[in-house]
């Protein structure tokens, strides 16, 4: 096939403006016919009564069923033609017995990520904290904010971020600061951080150290210590930092 073979798209679903009495959803379960109506269902399709001559007691198939069926089908086709993603749905997953091996779903947490099922009958939510039987694939993303901080997200969900804490580091031989991670921090878990003093004036001969007091996915509490006397180490130009997590 060629790109020129692309068929016309459905801009709206079939029977989009049909009145309520001229369209009905096609249910899954069998529908018991009446003397004048033999409803279609996903279980039966059009039931046997619609295949019998009217003279023999048959019931003509309902136009509302045709409208309902084609409406559901073309609505799904319109979604696909628009590039609509496949998303995890717990109810649908249970109904079909789980997603098949090789199924590709778009993350509902980060739409830049895609999940691939590694097994058949997969009912696990891929956006859960520790999803089983799903792996990520896609391209690495990189972004910056207006403060110059950067963030790199790998296809497997590993996140690195970094930047410069401008400070200045306040006076005194030792003190504590709470540093808030940009970009909203890490979605699931903070794994570690390093920091390096920026001696931008080449005049700070102190040996500044950084110690972790406590940390969460959104911030870290640091104890900063210098061997210089009080008031000396505030000449440092803050520190350059790098953190990682998932």
What pLDDT, in 10s, does the model give residues 30-63? 999 999 999 999 999 999 999 999 999 999 999 9
pLDDT score recorded for residue 204: 56
φ/ψ (deg, to 5) at 152? -120, 125
Contact status, residue 171 vs residue 194, Cβ threshold 8 Å: no
Task: Read off the pLDDT band of 149 (50, 70, 90).
Answer: very high
Any idea where the domains of the chain sit in the sequence? 12-81, 90-137, 141-245
> Which of 45, 20, 49, 22 lies closest to 33 in space, CA to CA?
49
pLDDT per residue as tens digits for the range 105-134? 999 988 878 899 999 999 999 998 777 899
Q: Which CATH architecture describes the domain 141-245?
A: Sandwich (2.60)
Beta carbons within 10 angstroms of residue 34's beta carbon: 10
Q: What is the pLDDT of residue 111?
A: 85
pLDDT surpassing 80 at residue 234: no
Q: Which of 231, 206, 211, 207 is nearest to 221 (CA)?
A: 211
Could you tell me if 10 and 71 are in contact, meaning their C-beta atoms sit under 8 angstroms apart? no
Q: How far apart are CA 221 and CA 10, in angstroms?
A: 55
In the sheet that holds 150-153, the strands lie side by side as: 141-144, 150-153, 159-165, 239-245, 190-197
> What confidence category does residue 233 fall into, taking pLDDT thresholds of 50, 70 and 90?
very low
Please indicate whether residue 189 or residue 200 has the higher confidence score (pLDDT): 189
pLDDT recorded at residue 63: 97
Q: In what order do the strands lie in the sheet with 174-180?
A: 174-180, 219-225, 209-215
- What CA–CA distance (Å, rounded) separates 128 from 30? 35
CB atoms within 10 A of CB 202: 7
Q: pLDDT tens digits, residue range 69-104?
A: 999 999 999 999 999 999 999 999 999 999 999 999
Average pLDDT for 169-186: 79
How far is the C-alpha of 140 from the C-alpha of 155, rounded, in Å?
6
């Amino acid at each position: 096939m060629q790109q020129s073979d692309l068929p016309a798209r459905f801009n709206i679903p079939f029977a989009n403006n049909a009145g309520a009495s001229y369209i009905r959803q096609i249910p899954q379960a069998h529908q018991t016919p009446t003397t004048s109506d033999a409803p279609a269902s996903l279980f039966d399709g059009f039931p046997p009564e619609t295949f019998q001559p009217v003279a023999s007691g048959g019931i003509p198939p309902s136009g509302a069923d045709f409208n309902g069926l084609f409406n559901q089908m073309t609505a799904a086709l319109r979604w696909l033609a628009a590039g609509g993603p496949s998303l995890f749905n717990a109810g649908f997953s249970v109904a079909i017995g789980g997603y098949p091996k090789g199924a590709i779903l778009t993350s509902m947490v980060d739409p830049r990520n895609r999940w691939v099922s590694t097994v058949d009958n997969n009912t696990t939510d891929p956006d859960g904290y520790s999803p089983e039987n799903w792996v990520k694939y896609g391209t690495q993303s990189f972004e910056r904010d207006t403060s110059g901080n950067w963030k790199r997200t790998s296809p497997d969900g590993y996140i690195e971020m970094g930047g410069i804490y401008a400070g200045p580091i306040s006076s005194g031989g030792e003190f504590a600061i709470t540093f808030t991670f940009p970009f909203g921090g890490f979605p699931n878990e903070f794994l570690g951080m390093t920091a390096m003093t920026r001696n931008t004036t080449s005049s700070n001969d102190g040996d500044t150290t950084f110690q972790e007091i406590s940390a969460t996915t959104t911030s870290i509490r640091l104890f900063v210590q210098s061997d210089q006397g009080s008031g000396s180490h505030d000449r440092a130009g803050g520190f350059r930092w790098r953190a990682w997590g998932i």
